[in-house]
Amino acid sequence: MSGVPSSIPGAGGRYSLSIGVSSSCQWTARTDVNWADVAPGSGQGNAAPTLQVNRNEAFFTRQFTVYINGQTFLTTQGSTNCTYNVEPTTLEESHEGGIARITVATAEGCGWSVSASEAWVRVLTPTGTGNATVLLDLSPNPSDVRHAFVTVAGRRVDITQRRRG
């Protein structure tokens, strides 16, 4: 048995499975949910049934199990309905550096990540779910004005750090 994905995007889709048994052996395949199905659900000998998974309209990831001849395969499906609000979208910070804060607003269960474009911006909150405050540690600026950006939940936040003196 092969081809059962361990994770599926929120959009769902069709996945070809591979069942390898002798020509005289019967097999069955099914899921434990009504939003994912294996077709055909039974047969004899080698086969390539299709796993069909519907779009996940919920805010949460969800899991289901595929059963093929007594073997179990756990699969997780992501969400398609997460929207994110990130504030502020620009930061102007002192040359002294320190902690900067960005607010992420989204539904409970919606995951997000943060990355920085420059090494002088250290992300203290690299991932999370739901509403949260992202913390950034900015190094002191030893010279001229400098610019960077962070990407928070797919949204760009521009950072300007004033020059020393």
- What digits encode the pLDDT tens for the residues 79-100? 777 888 999 999 999 999 999 9
Q: What is the mean pLDDT of residues 15-42?
A: 95
- What digits encode the pLDDT tens for the residues 34-70? 999 999 999 999 999 999 999 888 777 789 999 999 8
CATH superfamily ID and name for 85-161 = Immunoglobulins (2.60.40.10)
Residues 16, 61: Cα–Cα separation, whole Å: 22
3-state class (DSSP) for residue 125: coil
Q: How far is CA 135 from the centre of its chain?
A: 20
Residues 100, 97: Cα–Cα separation, whole Å: 9
Residue 109: name the closest of 63, 155, 61 by CA: 61
CATH class of the domain defined by 7-77 = mainly beta
> Where in the chain do CATH 2.60.40.10 domains reside?
7-77, 85-161
